[in-house]
Structure 1
């Protein structure tokens, strides 16, 4: 059994596993290696044809999850709080800050606290 660089776990050195479980672990490892070799063989074949692609179940699951995300979505207070904090509060805060700044500038201009020559945006 080949070891992967950086991996220290060796199933042959486990003493608390029954022989049946050890055989199942080794079978799964062999199946993984066989599937990995088959996928590498298919993906690196230069004659796989025009428009040919290798079916990858993990990619298919990911695309299916993205397509069905809103069918599986369940509204909750946590979701509402997240949307409120990320979308609604920043928009309301920006509107309030801009409205307050505009009101103060307009008040100062109307009362003569800012001379016309010192005003910004006087040509817009």
Structure 2
């Protein structure tokens, strides 16, 4: 527990209320420390939040104005979004093999191919046994009846 309130002695009702008010003042003073950060950091966070809200309002204002961007195909040009989409479209052209890519291929993709080969091989062997008559119908794992 962050704050252990003192026990109240048996006093008059007025004294108990005043003591309770003092305890609440201490609790609220601790709560007013702005989440355990300094006042400057709290003001900086508040400024960033207000700046984000203002940019959002401006974007929505431009986005919902049907005549503002009619010459630009009717949408607000967002350079960050354009960079992201361009990066996604040209990711294979920008690919450069390195040690991390190689480790990913060895540790993630190669086991899939090995596992696929084992499944393929086992199915082909079972099919060969069925066609040659070595595996009887009653001994098969999956039957139709």
Q: TM-score range by the shorter chain?
A: 0.5 to 0.7
What's the counterpart of residue 121 of structure 2?
Answer: 99
Q: How does 1:3-42 map to 2 (within 5 A)?
A: 14-15=38-39, 17=40, 22=43, 28-42=48-62
Q: Compute the displacement of 1:53 (Å).
A: 1.3
**Which structure has the larger Rg over C-alpha atoms?**
2
Distance (whole Å) between structure 1 residues aligned to residue 113 and residue 104 of structure 2: 14
2:15 aligns to what?
Answer: none
TM-score in terms of structure 1 length: 0.54
2:63 is matched with which residue: 29, 32, 43? 43
Change (3 A) 1:105 1:34: closer
TM-score, scaled to structure 2? 0.48
1:34-113 map, 5 Å: 34-48=54-68, 49=70, 51-70=73-92, 71=94, 73-76=96-99, 78-107=100-129, 109-110=131-132, 112-113=133-134
Q: Structure 2: which 5+ residue stretches go unaligned? A: 1-32, 141-145
* Cα drift, residue 102 of structure 1: 1.8
Residue aligning to 1:114? 135
The structure 1 segments of at least 4 consecutive aligned residues displaced by more than 4 Å after TM superposition are: 24-30
Structure 1 pair 27–104 and aligned structure 2 pair: CA distance change class (3 A): closer
Q: What is the deviation of 1:66?
A: 1.9
Superposed CA offset, 1:42-99 (max 9, x none): 00113342722101233123123324534264511x3222223332221222122221
Aligned-residue offset at 1:33: 3.2
CA-based RMSD of the aligned residues comes to 3.9
Residue correspondences, number: 103
TM-superposed deviation, 1:25? 5.8
Contact 1:108–1:114 (8 Å) recurs in 2:
yes
